[in-house]
Chain A
Amino acid sequence: MTVLTHDPIVSATRRPLNRLLRSVPGVIGLALMMIILGLSIMNWLGLTPYDPIAQDAPARLQSPSGGHPFGTDQFGRDVFSRVAAGLANSLLIAAVAVFFATVLGTLAGLVGGYFRGVPDLATGGVANVLFAFPPLLLALTLASVLDRNWFTVAIAIAVVYVPIFYRVSRGPVLSLREREFVQAAVSTGQNPWVTMFLHVLPNITALIIVQVALSLSWAVLTEAALSFLGLGTPPPAASLGSMIFEAKNIVVVAPWTLLAPGAMVVVLVAALNLLGDGLTDALDVGGKE
């Protein structure tokens, strides 16, 4: 009976979700992400208790209390509201960066792996060049030559992660291309681009999804490091990295100014890593290394 009601399309979408909800890292990661998204949405809707950039000199460096759950910083700004804004900012930049990296990298991997020959050499060469830079260094140099706003920071980070998506997709495409169902489509004279997107791409989506979760965690770390070095989101907008930089010198008198943004970066990155682990199990992708 179960066999008769078995709907392949439903099972393909529902089963991984069930499995994600059964894996311990997946559930912890999802729960933490819910909290983080909640805080970000609070910021976007303007529901945080204070304006994250409004200064209030008399209320400088207050320790955590009912009115300011995470205390205030050296300008009297509410740390809780700033952390929510910083999280929202980190998520936005990381999401935009990983979106561009995913689209460009996967496309390059598909083209290189599917057509081989010259397209493969060209995309592979570009990927090798991008891989020749330590990731943070490339993002840093790019961010320094571009105009500084949140979008250019996202683009600088995206460039760094394009070759990762290229490598992740190209290998499987090379072997998928030789499989019977792809060869069958080729032999019917189907347009190669149609074959590529219709038959090859769906078979690497699981890999890509896992890579997206892991890349988001790296992108958050990169954005935070850039902001810490003064090359990320320009002030006075709140960013977790620049908050930690500013807190560094007053941490002894006001430890909460460092603790709150520091803990948030760690929780956000850990949540994305856990989600990536959970997705790896749920989607049956196999070894991560």
Chain B
Amino acid sequence: MTESRPRLLRSPVLGRLLTAVATLCGVALLVFIMLRAIPGDRITATLGTEAAALSPAQRAALEAYYGLDQPLVLQFLNWLGQLITGNLGISSRAQVSVVQLTAGALPVTLELAVIAILIALVVGIPIGMAAATRRNGILDGAGQVFALLWLSVPAFLLASVLLTYTARLWGFNPNGQPYAVPWLNPGLNLQQMLLPAITLGLGIAAPIIRTTRTAVIEIGGLDFIRTARAKGVSEARLRARHVLRNALVPVTTMTGLQFGYLLGGAVVVEQIFSLPGVGRQVLLGIQQKDYAVVQSTVLVIALCFVLVNLLTDLAYRVIDPRVRQA
């Protein structure tokens, strides 16, 4: 046990973990500074223009109540301590804790992200492979034009067009109804997820097409593929078992990296399709000047992002043994 410790300390996994923890502390500091930079404070944010009517004594009492009379460093440490014990603050509008709000919103965004990633993989990998096998053919050209197009179409534009025209042409407007919880009404829930997930999924399909194409071309030229072909392995089997399996390594990394795009894109897409996820929660918080909500939700989203990046990195080590030794 004691002997394994020095080895553990040298392990890149632990290094990654420590970096992640340090990064999260930095993230908390940045969020704290950003929201202290707003003109006004918690008192004006809660009371609005009525704050001007406060007597100096009332004001001092409120400042003491919110801890605003303490030095900034202490305020930050207090806030950090609260965060670690699971207190994310109270929403001044909804009068419920941000933990409660987030516990309701986070599953919505995660469900949306997972469906979007599935759509992106189902669309992106076959197109990427087809483009690589018929290099410079019509499909390759079409695939690259498609990829460029989807890189250039903003999510909010695609979402607005999809929402308006599906409702107009087919009367399909599930997002006009209140949000359906998946375990109570799974059918409606999936319908409500469909268009937003297509919007986000097509957005990340483009980098997946590019990565798959590059990886398949690169791996297809390696010696072991030539050896396998010489042994008489069928082309179909070669592509599925030998090429694709290896190409999945960079594709996995790319998918993990796109998760951040999904969390950012979720702000726009959730807003347009009225999905009560964390993205919409941040935007609502900003619009209603409910800064406890903004502060904590942004922090939770960054935490998810750091965790997914860490998991991607670790998954990469599991999938590709060469990285583990490096």
Contact = CB atoms under 8 A, between A and B. Distances in A.
Contacts of A142: 34
A257 B267 CA distance: 24
Interface stretch (B61-69, B149-157, B231-239): B149-157
Given A137-B264, A137-B282, A140-B282, A265 B301 contact: no
Nearest to A135: B264
Contacts of B210: 289
Interface in B297-311: 298, 301-302, 305-306
A267 B301 CA distance: 32
Interface stretch (B114-122, B124-132, B160-168): B160-168
Contact of A125 (B26, B38, B149, B156): B26
B214 interface: yes
A88 interface: no
Contacts of B305: 132-134
Contacts of B164: 248, 251-252
Contact of B286 (A144, A265, A274): A144
A130 B306 CA distance: 11
Contacts of A99: none
B156 A228 contact: yes
Interface string B287-301: 100000010001001
Interface string B133-159: 000000000000000110111111100
A128 interface: yes
A269 interface: yes
A145 B34 contact: yes
Interface string A236-276: 00000100110010011000001000100111011001100
Given A133-B305, A135-B260, A136-B268, A128 B26 contact: yes
The main secondary structure of chain B at its interface with chain A is helix
A79 interface: no
Interface residues of B, number: 50
Contacts, number: 129
Contacts of A266: 149, 152-154, 157
B35 interface: yes
A144 B155 CA distance: 21
Interface in B74-102: none
Scoring A126, A129, A289 by chain B CB atoms within 10 A of each residue's CB, the highest score goes to: A129
B211 interface: yes
B160 A258 contact: yes
Contacts of B70: none
A251 B168 CA distance: 11
A265 B152 CA distance: 8
Interface in B267-326: 267-268, 271, 279, 282-283, 286-287, 294, 298, 301-302, 305-306
B261 interface: yes
B154 A224 contact: yes
A244 B23 CA distance: 37
Interface string A210-245: 000000010001001100111100000000010011
Nearest to B265: A136
Contacts of B283: 140, 229
Contact of B23 (A129, A140, A231, A251): A129
B44 interface: no
A141 interface: yes
Interface in A109-161: 125-126, 128-130, 132-137, 140-142, 144-146
28 contacts: A126-B26, A128-B22, A132-B24, A132-B26, A132-B27, A132-B302, A133-B260, A133-B298, A133-B305, A134-B264, A136-B265, A137-B263, A137-B298, A140-B282, A140-B283, A141-B34, A144-B286, A145-B35, A224-B154, A244-B156, A244-B157, A244-B160, A251-B164, A262-B161, A266-B157, A267-B152, A270-B148, A289-B214
Given A136-B265, A225-B268, A228-B156, 13 more contacts: A128-B19, A129-B29, A133-B27, A134-B260, A135-B261, A136-B267, A145-B34, A225-B155, A228-B268, A229-B156, A229-B267, A244-B160, A258-B160
Interface of A: 125-126, 128-130, 132-137, 140-142, 144-146, 217, 221, 224-225, 228-231, 241, 244-245, 248, 251-252, 258, 262, 265-267, 269-270, 273-274, 287, 289
